[in-house]
Structure 1
Amino acid sequence: MNGKSRKGAAQLRSARWFAPDDLRSFGHRSRLMQLGFSEEDFMGKPVIGILNTWSELNSCHSHFPERVEAVKRGVAQAGGFAVELPTLSVDESFTKPTSMLYRNMLAMEVEEMIRSHPLDGVVLMGGCDKTTPGLVMGGITAGVPMIYLPAGPMLRGNYAGKALGSGSDAWKYWDERRAGNVSDEQWRGVQGGIARSAGVCMTMGTASTMTAIADALGLTLPGASSIPAVDSAHTRMSADCGRRIVDMVWEDLTPDQIVTEAAVRNAAIVAMATGCSTNAVVHLIAMARRAGVELSLDDLDALGRTTPLLANVRPSGKDYLMEDFYFAGGLLALIKQIAGRLDTSAITANGRTLGENIAEAVVYNDDVIRPLSNPVYHEGSLAVLRGNLCPDGAIIKPAACDPKYYVHEGPALVFDSYPEMKKAIDDETLDVTPDHVLVLRNAGPQGGPGMPEWGMLPIPKALIKQGHRDMLRISDARMSGTSYGACVLHVAPESFIGGPLALLKTGDMVRLDLPNRRLDMVVSEDELALRRAAWTPPAPHFERGWGWMYSKHVTQADKGCDFDFLERNFGRAAGEPDIF
């Protein structure tokens, strides 16, 4: 498939551990025999690592123990030997202050686990927001054949006969509850009906965005990202992953042959067409840089200006959820709609080209997956802003906010911390109007710490009760991919390290000009110079451990928030173990 001759058993990476007639290999063989395996189980066969991000606190991955068994079945059927290795789960719901603080930890763990163990290929099992980029980043750097197994979206939610979208409807019902329009009983009903099965958020949030990106990159089996988590097709896909990774090992189909510049560009275009999460920016940039592909905010903005939004899936779409998207034809059908904008010669994990994979794809519902002639939104999902508030860039999701804020000027109402903001917005005497611009700072990669999903600042209670449901909000934080509204995010450089957002004061006028991609504070350069001279950096969050390491080495949002020492141009990688 890739122009190489197939490997022989002696060329397997695992053979270095098991094949030699020496004391070290005796130890390796004997320890597998200690587990109840015979030499016939593993000698001369591809050893496949199943890297599983399951945990009892990751509800999105609660079906993974069963899927592991399906993967193992597929590996055995193809003549391989499968071993499961648990990895950091970085669940989205419970990890504080944010799972983003630990994405790079997962990436490092995956890279080192693959490098240090006798693995010829790996199946990477993820789905919940940070697991996809973390697994892929580590897998790309490790360089052995890999295939990504996406968790799949959960079933659509339901309450009182209405379909609920995870995240998106939680925000909506919460606003109505704050306005006094939702009773305690109704609130509990939504709570019990919004997440009905295993799987990731069934809106086009960060989880489904990132698995779609992995799919579009060519790292999954074609269309795997669209399959609902509890559909029997998901179990069959898992077994297919097991069978396919064995062949990938024999073919020596490695990530560098798949994650090319063309594949990254394809993935970015597909993401825009799906109505992707704003979080796609930091993760796609980080994954691309691991593959040696330079992807900038300007590249993404250029693609966003020319890529229409075709997936009518919440929150950017208005009507449908991921289950509907799957039955409408799924990601392959959407990709076929925009095939003329893609490099369809890109090689994917099944050994075929993207063009071959979409040849038979069909759209079954053209209101869910729109044609180019009738998009949900004529430009892509994301836009990049620059100006004196964000010289290194900021992100907004135009399709998910009220168009009246595309051009807006109003006074800033600035908060230095999340607790300060939370207290203020519930104060019904807060002096605020719909024209105000809510600003939260010290919430970026270092300031959060970890760049939490605080960027969808709640509408002040006083305005909620007046019927307002959107207003301009700015932060150096991220927001959930299930969120919506006129939220400017990822302001770079962040305020915690002295970015211009640190100099903004309550009452300063802020101007957003989306058509011209500008975000500015209307403050003179002389005044900003005085404020800059008076600014003092906040005290560091960490003095030891992971947090200290993170704060010393994390890059800013426009660079993907990876660690500087993990970038390709930092230095020579450790390479393969040479001591046995």
Structure 2
Amino acid sequence: MSPTPRKLRSNFPKGSYLWAVRNAQWQAMGIPEEDCEKPKIAVVNSSSELAACYSHLDQVAKVVKEAIRAAGGVPFEIRTTAPSDFVTGAGARGAYMLAARDLVTNDIEAAVEGAQLDGMVCLTSCDKTVPGQLMAAARLNVPTILVPCGYQASGEYKGEHVDIEEVFIHSMHAQIGGSTSTEDVIGMSRCAIRSPGVCSGLGTANTMHIVCEALGMALPGSAPVAALSDKMFTDAKAAGARIVQMVWDDLKPRDILQPGAFSNAVKAVLAIGGSLNAVKHLQAVATEAENGVDVYGMFEELGPQTPVLAGVRPIGNHLIEEFEAAGGCRALMKQLQPLLATDPLTVTGATVADNLRTYQVANAEVIRPIDNPVAPQPAIILLRGSLAPEAALIKTGIAERKVRRWIGPAVCFETSDAAVAALKAKTIAPGSVMVMRGAGACGGPAMGGGASRVVFAIDGAGMGDEVAMLTDGHLSGLVCKGLVVAEVAPESALGGPLALVQDGDRITIDLDARKVDLDVAPAVLEQRRAQWQAPAKLFDRGWLQIYRRNVGPLAQGAVLTRPTK
């Protein structure tokens, strides 16, 4: 298609102050003066040498920039922070992990809005960069495409498959139960990752890559994809070419991020039993898009209606490579098509229906049709109740659960270290409900606190079927073990009901009724509330202080709130 003449926001009158000083900068960089009139595209790159998730992105950026130039645009590579849970989760009790998501969004805003660029191609990688980029697209509302940059190759140890999930699990087994030796953990860590890219299971990163496509913000057929594969580079090149036309057509994120698109994305996450973290991330994108979508309500309503169509690790036995070979997100949406909204626009400029019209699923055993699901029960359940009046989440997986209703006494912990120590000391009685609190968006802050450590410690202690767990923290997207209720809201640091629980209180978790309740008399709770004191605030300097003071509730996606007048 030929460019449609329209005024670009990046173009200033020739010879004006803004034109002249910008032209001086670009002349020094070897950018021709005539390029001042072309669409100027940000190539958002979170390249970093801290983690394998990001180590290949410079190669992707090069291909995207070449494609933008060939299509008649001018690329400008910009950088953001690059959080990786397994690396940048070491400091501040893990608080930098979620807090960095919003930092990614603000990094993009500062560069793209400051320079008044016309569009963006975002190179998606690890867990927090994907929603951070989607949030920026929704906030800035300039034409944007997201490019999934692929999952890493996993390895083999002692003749068995090994990936980062096994390293995570078995390191806790070695610490708690001794069922795995330290030598084996070291051996696994040397073999688990064989290429750049994100975690190879269907954790938060691959879930969010699929979300990008299901929302219509990535090209059809681009998620998931093996990092550095020919297909990944082909998709990246296509995105670079497409973004220039999107700028001329003025096709913006808010044209795409409509309620139907969010409904489709929620159904896609449910149909793969994806990461629980997708719930708050999708809500954050909806909040930034200012479209009024209640993602939590969608999960609550659509969960019982949406069958699980694929069993990919960690909820099933299929590998992510098999899911990609079967057709990935595009095949999933084809199988879900009777349940989807098919009229939303996508980055192709066409609708969901148009993109799926001639598509054929490559393997209907890996990605099944609606009438032959992997599991009839939802793999993700949203709970409410007296302990979670706003919401709580549980990832049940696809295996039939022996126990779907749990009643037990609370054993309360204020930190993950204390909970892990109790498991190691074997002081937790079977039948208990371990309550780990103070790990919410504000209290953590940023949901730091290591709730996932406690889940894997329970498994390592051999108590996965003997205790339940309740927390206001979040879980790694690779967690799918035990009866674990997470992201209980409102959080304890803000005085939510979880703050009032004491050792011995009876708690009921009912998956079929979708309830989580505290069996304590109202008068007793009123007395406790009168005596309750908010915990001391953590991290009173730097970015974490800014985050803690401004973060909103999970119901809004835990985004940074606007100051009230």
The answer to whether the 8 Å contact 2:145/2:243 transfers is yes
Question: For 1:506-527, what per-residue CA distance to the aligned partner results, in whole angstroms no more than 9, with x for missing partners?
Answer: 1111111111111011111111
What amino acid is aligned across from residue 121 of structure 2 in structure 1?
V
What amino acid is aligned across from residue 283 of structure 1 in structure 2?
H
1:51 aligned partner? 44
The answer to whether the 8 Å contact 2:386/2:516 transfers is yes
2:71 aligned partner? 78
Structure 2 residue 80 is the aligned partner of structure 1 residue 87:
yes
Structure 1 residue 376: deviation in Å? 1.9
Distance 1:232 1:462 in 2: 41
Equivalent residue runs for 1:234-383 within 5 Å = 234-293=232-291, 294-317=293-316, 319-383=317-381
Structure 2 residue 467 is the aligned partner of structure 1 residue 471:
yes
3-state DSSP of counterpart to 1:396: strand
Distance 1:438 1:200 in 2: 31
The answer to whether the 8 Å contact 2:81/2:104 transfers is yes
Call closer, same or farther: CA 1:462–1:492 in 2, change over 3 Å. Answer: closer
Structure 1 residue 167: deviation in Å? 2.1
Question: For 1:460-517, what per-residue CA distance to the aligned partner results, in whole angstroms no more than 9, with x for missing partners?
Answer: 9798566756631110000000111211001111111111111111111111111111
Distance 2:462 2:19 in 1: 73
CA RMSD of aligned residues (A): 2.2
Structure 2 residue 512 is the aligned partner of structure 1 residue 515:
yes
1:109 aligned partner? 107
What amino acid is aligned across from residue 343 of structure 2 in structure 1?
S
What amino acid is aligned across from residue 300 of structure 2 in structure 1?
D
2:498 aligned partner? 501
Which range is displaced more, 106-115 or 449-458?
449-458
1:530 aligned partner? 527
Question: For 1:25-76, what per-residue CA distance to the aligned partner results, in whole angstroms no more than 9, with x for missing partners?
Answer: 1211111001122214x13211111011111113201110100110011111
Call closer, same or farther: CA 1:460–1:77 in 2, change over 3 Å. Answer: closer
Structure 1 residue 436: deviation in Å? 1.0
The normalised TM-score by structure 1 is 0.91
Distance 2:500 2:344 in 1: 46
The answer to whether the 8 Å contact 2:267/2:306 transfers is yes
The answer to whether the 8 Å contact 1:106/1:134 transfers is yes
1:578 aligned partner? none
Call closer, same or farther: CA 1:367–1:185 in 2, change over 3 Å. Answer: farther
The answer to whether the 8 Å contact 1:56/1:62 transfers is yes
Structure 1 residue 457: deviation in Å? 5.1
Distance 1:289 1:21 in 2: 40
1:35 aligned partner? 29
Distance 1:197 1:268 in 2: 30
Distance 2:557 2:462 in 1: 39
1:69 aligned partner? 62
Which range is displaced more, 111-120 or 178-187?
178-187
2:489 aligned partner? 492
What amino acid is aligned across from residue 29 of structure 1 in structure 2?
N
Call closer, same or farther: CA 1:122–1:169 in 2, change over 3 Å. Answer: same
The answer to whether the 8 Å contact 2:221/2:327 transfers is no
Distance 2:454 2:512 in 1: 25
Distance 2:197 2:391 in 1: 33
The equivalent position to 1:21 in structure 2, one of 7, 15, 22, is 15
Call closer, same or farther: CA 1:360–1:465 in 2, change over 3 Å. Answer: same
The answer to whether the 8 Å contact 1:71/1:238 transfers is yes
Listed as ranges, the gaps of 5+ residues in structure 2 are none
The answer to whether the 8 Å contact 2:423/2:461 transfers is no
What amino acid is aligned across from residue 544 of structure 2 in structure 1?
G
Question: For 1:147-183, what per-residue CA distance to the aligned partner results, in whole angstroms no more than 9, with x for missing partners?
Answer: 1111211123322232234325631574377433333
The equivalent position to 2:439 in structure 1, one of 432, 440, 443, is 443
Equivalent residue runs for 1:546-557 within 5 Å = 546-557=543-554
Structure 1 residue 185: deviation in Å? 3.4
The equivalent position to 2:477 in structure 1, one of 456, 459, 481, is 481
Structure 1 residue 223: deviation in Å? 1.9
Which range is displaced more, 73-82 or 163-172?
163-172
Number of aligned residues:
558
What amino acid is aligned across from residue 76 of structure 2 in structure 1?
V
Call closer, same or farther: CA 1:463–1:284 in 2, change over 3 Å. Answer: closer
The alignment-based identity, stated in percent, is 34
1:12 aligned partner? 8
What amino acid is aligned across from residue 35 of structure 1 in structure 2?
M
Distance 1:464 1:227 in 2: 32
Distance 1:462 1:278 in 2: 19
The answer to whether the 8 Å contact 1:397/1:487 transfers is yes
What amino acid is aligned across from residue 564 of structure 1 in structure 2?
T
Listed as ranges, the gaps of 5+ residues in structure 1 are 572-580
3-state DSSP of counterpart to 1:185: helix
Call closer, same or farther: CA 1:189–1:457 in 2, change over 3 Å. Answer: closer
2:127 aligned partner? 129
Distance 2:511 2:201 in 1: 25
What amino acid is aligned across from residue 77 of structure 2 in structure 1?
E
Distance 1:280 1:400 in 2: 18
The answer to whether the 8 Å contact 1:50/1:123 transfers is yes
What amino acid is aligned across from residue 39 of structure 1 in structure 2?
E
3-state DSSP of counterpart to 1:243: helix
Structure 2 residue 206 is the aligned partner of structure 1 residue 208:
yes
What amino acid is aligned across from residue 193 of structure 2 in structure 1?
A
3-state DSSP of counterpart to 1:403: coil
